[in-house]
Amino acid sequence: MLGLNKHDRTLLIIVAILTMCAPFILNPFPTDSGMAQFNAGYPDLMQRFVIFGIFAIGFNILFGLTGYLSFGHAAFLGVGSYSAVWMFKLLSMNVIPAILLAMIISGLFAVLIGYVSLRRSGIYFSILTLAFAQMSFNLAYSVLTPITNGETGLQLTLDDPRILGVSATADGGIPVTSLFGLEMRSTYEMAVGPWAFQFNAGYYLCALIMLASFYLSIRIFRSPFGMMLRAVKSNQTRLNYTGLNPRPYTLAAFVISGMYAGLAGGLMASMDPLAGAERMQWTASGEVVLMSILGGAGTLIGPVLGAGFIKYFENIFSKINDTVLHNWFAFLPDGLEDAVVFIIHPFIGKGWHLTLGILFMLVVIFLPGGLVEGGQRIRRLFSKKPADDGKPAATKPAE
């Protein structure tokens, strides 16, 4: 089915279930309970989960398969966002043309950067991509202000000369993004007892695109092209001795990865028509590196898990403050309650980066394969079969 083996079909089904059922999975606690703090099933955050999942999947095609570590992938994310917003300003509010333009412009930009950067490898390649990303950030922030609107950011206005749409709605407002009339902000709310679930049109569009992106990444991983990229990562010098030139393959991987990032940027602008230079900063590039390593670089589902993990920490864990802690530990004597809150305080709220850093350090030390390796260890632990009466297994001759 779909040209996938049993293992890959299982992975695709798991990702499909996680994305399609996310409003239920991410809202496990009743809305009126104290644990509702940890619910993450609201549209904006769910959109970020899948959009950054696409970003991480694309980055993993480059880093996971070829071993080339790019510190400048946020440049393609930003270029995709700017391209999509310009499409909304000039053509129509339909998200399809905007997403397509974001991918095309990001792909062309990736050809330019990749052609220069891939002349070097290792740390020199990483530094070159970082330099290009910072150049792009500074250009967007200052020099290209007529195109990017500088530090204010590019956004829609009532004066936009939209060819296939109106510049203003009947009530004088700015039109909203849509998919052939279906507004991206359209949300259906369903109450089931004390639980509340939200089903957002924009989220499900992003989720379906992420599923298609994940399926494409599986096909790339299992293709002869993916095998060639693995050969580049394994031993590029030995590959050169065979007479094969690895540069066209690495450039193709770089461009595909850049188009994935552009797709993510286009989706971000489609959900919220605003593009700013901050999306091109080196910190955004470092974030996708963390997502891939934390989830499991070189694995299929790892980057998706890493993206969800980091975005959950950024948006949910960071909102825990001293007031919430005092409510949790109110059953303790006053002095002990204050002491516990004082100890935990540096690790929550604005200090969530410290907690994430410690977790990342622990994963790198004890789970080099990321969260995927942790899941594999747990599965082996529970699926281990007992030895048969203590007899050694019979050996078979090699074939």
pLDDT at 281 over 70: yes
Closest by alpha carbon to 260, among 217, 221, 309?
Answer: 217
- Least trusted range by pLDDT, from 90-99, 295-304, 390-399: 390-399
CA 351 to chain centre: 22
pLDDT at 394 over 70: no
Question: Would you say the C-alpha torsion 235, 239, 242, 243 has a positive or negative sign?
Answer: negative
pLDDT at 194 over 90: no
**Residue 179: which pLDDT band, with cuts at 50, 70 and 90?**
very high
pLDDT at 397 over 80: no
Predicted local distance difference test score (pLDDT) of residue 396: 47
Predicted local distance difference test score (pLDDT) of residue 210: 96
pLDDT in tens, 34-47: 788 888 888 999 99
HEC secondary structure over the chain: CCCCCHHHHHHHHHHHHHHHCHHHHCCCCCCCCHHHHHCCCCHHHHHHHHHHHHHHHHHHHHHHHHCCCCCCCHHHHHHHHHHHHHHHHHCCCEHHHHHHHHHHHHHHHHHHHHHHHCCCCCHHHHHHHHHHHHHHHHHHHHHCHHHHCHHHCEECCCCCCCCCCCCCCCCCCCCCCEECCEECCCEEEEEECCEEEEEEHHHHHHHHHHHHHHHHHHHHHHCHHHHHHHHHHHHHHHHHHCCCCCHHHHHHHHHHHHHHHHHHHHHHHHHCCEECHHHHCHHHHHHHHHHHHHHCCCCCCHHHHHHHHHHHHHHCHHHCCHHHHHHHCCCCCHHHHHHHHHHHHHHCHHHHHHHHHHHHHHHHHHCCCHHHHHHHHHHHHHHCCCCCCCCCCCCCCCC
pLDDT at 218 over 90: yes
Percent of the chain with pLDDT over 90: 49
Predicted local distance difference test score (pLDDT) of residue 46: 93
pLDDT in tens, 330-368: 888 888 988 988 898 888 888 888 888 888 888 888 888
pLDDT in tens, 307-330: 998 998 888 878 888 888 888 888
- Least trusted range by pLDDT, from 7-21, 155-169, 172-186, 260-274: 155-169
**Mean pLDDT of all residues belonging to the chain:** 88
Predicted local distance difference test score (pLDDT) of residue 398: 40
**Residue 387: which pLDDT band, with cuts at 50, 70 and 90?**
very low
Query: Span 150-158, mean pLDDT?
Result: 87
pLDDT in tens, 228-274: 999 999 888 888 888 888 899 999 999 999 999 999 999 999 999 98
Tokens found for residue 73: 């992938």
Predicted local distance difference test score (pLDDT) of residue 377: 87
Predicted local distance difference test score (pLDDT) of residue 1: 64
Query: Span 262-290, mean pLDDT?
Result: 91
**Residue 150: which pLDDT band, with cuts at 50, 70 and 90?**
confident
Q: Domains in the chain, ordered, with CATH?
A: 6-29+39-315 (1.10.3470)
Please give the C-alpha separations between residue 7 and each of 12, 295, 300, 301, 399, in angstroms, as whole numbers.
9, 18, 11, 12, 25
Predicted local distance difference test score (pLDDT) of residue 132: 93
Predicted local distance difference test score (pLDDT) of residue 289: 92
pLDDT at 391 over 70: no
Query: How far apart are alpha carbons 154 and 174 in whole angstroms?
Result: 14
Query: Span 181-205, mean pLDDT?
Result: 91
